[in-house]
Structure 1
Amino acid sequence: MGFFVQDLHRQIEQIYFQTQQTEKMIIYRRQGMSNVEFEKLKKSEGGLLSFNNFLSTSIDREVSFVFGNSARDDPDLTGILFRMEIDPSFSSVPFAALDDISFYSNFDQEILFSMHTIFRIGSMREIENKLWQIDLTLTNNNDQQLKNVTEFIRNEINDGNRWMLMAGMMINMGKFDKALEIYNTLLETILNGTEK
């Protein structure tokens, strides 16, 4: 799995450097989010938001409405339309326009970002019942808050057992299931006498 992730990341970088996108653009992503997570996000306006997976977006706002309709029928979900402003002259985060290589190239005008892409959270407003638009701006390497967070994580990881620290970070982020998964893996590793 790790090889696949690395290979996909390299391909995104390769496409990014080959195309040399220079114009600003607005892209969209629609998804359902748990009401609990959405309430946390609403309190983070002006902060940072990281997507912990590969991020598929579309240049066409209407295409984004085709995806992510699950929130309409689920009382535990809120629909989110992320409106993302990308300025390649301001940010060096790689992304790939998949027009020429995607099976759905004529349909969705897809832009793909690698894992852990970080955005600055802008304004939020309800645009329909149970559907909120959240404006995001792609960060750059000069973002001081991003530098501080990156440095903090780097120091935390270098100061002790990385798995324990990662589990602690998951708890701090409210991702208790992920923390439990890490702790269970550590326990199995210790019981088997193969701690890494």
Structure 2
Amino acid sequence: MHSVFRVGDIKKTANNSRLWKVQLTLTDENDPQLATLTQRMQEALYGSTAWERLGDLLIQVGHFNQADELYNELLKDASNDSAMADIYHQLGRVKSQQGRYEK
């Protein structure tokens, strides 16, 4: 699993109004809230890999250009026809959401 932090206190620094001091606490894999969140995300997002689920999340939150970029990168490394089909499907979803899908 990747590193996940809880955001604690957030304060603007006194010297520079553009800087913020953020207290982060590292979670571990035994954190029950993190386990629940991870399970829900896996259930709600499409994809067999973390990269594919990230792409689906990007689509769901409306970051279509980033999803398009990610899926095009994944397409370069697709190892078989099934993986390519899944990626093309997701690229179709991106274009459809952008209103750029032509029949």
Cα 1:118–1:188 change in 2 (3 A) is closer
Identity in percent: 34
Aligned residue pairs, count? 77
Q: Is residue 2:33 matched to residue 1:145?
A: yes
For residues 38-94 of structure 1, the C-alpha deviation after alignment (integer angstroms, 9 at most, x for no partner) is: xxxxxxxxxxxxxxxxxxxxxxxxxxxxxxxxxxxxxxxxxxxxxxxxxxxxxxxxx
Runs of 4+ in 1 over 4 A off after TM superposition: 185-189
- Structure with more helix by fraction: 2
**RMSD of aligned Cα (Å):** 3.4
Q: Tell me how far 1:195 sits from its aligned partner.
A: 3.3
Partner of 2:21: 133
Is contact 1:125–1:133 with CA below 8 Å preserved after alignment? yes
For residues 108-148 of structure 1, the C-alpha deviation after alignment (integer angstroms, 9 at most, x for no partner) is: xxxxxxx8311100111110221110111111233222111
Q: Which one of the candidate residues 101, 117, 123 is aligned to 2:9?
A: 123
2:4 aligns to what SS in structure 1?
Answer: strand
Higher relative contact order (CA 8 A, sep 6+): 1
Is contact 1:186–1:195 with CA below 8 Å preserved after alignment? no
Q: What amino acid is aligned across from residue 81 of structure 2 in structure 1?
A: T
Partner of 2:90: none
Is contact 1:124–1:134 with CA below 8 Å preserved after alignment? yes
TM-score, reference length from structure 2:
0.52
Counterpart CA distance in 2 for 1:119 and 1:131 is 19
Q: Which one of the candidate residues 35, 55, 64 is aligned to 1:176?
A: 64
Counterpart CA distance in 2 for 1:154 and 1:170 is 14
TM-score, reference length from structure 1:
0.31
Unaligned runs of 5+ in 2: 84-103
For residues 7-57 of structure 1, the C-alpha deviation after alignment (integer angstroms, 9 at most, x for no partner) is: xxxxxxxxxxxxxxxxxxxxxxxxxxxxxxxxxxxxxxxxxxxxxxxxxxx
- Structure with more strand by fraction: 1
Is contact 1:118–1:139 with CA below 8 Å preserved after alignment? yes
Counterpart CA distance in 1 for 2:27 and 2:47 is 30
Q: What amino acid is aligned across from residue 10 of structure 2 in structure 1?
A: M
Q: Tell me how far 1:161 sits from its aligned partner.
A: 4.5
Q: Tell me how far 1:188 sits from its aligned partner.
A: 7.7
1:122 aligns to what SS in structure 2?
Answer: strand
Counterpart CA distance in 2 for 1:117 and 1:164 is 19
Unaligned runs of 5+ in 1: 1-114
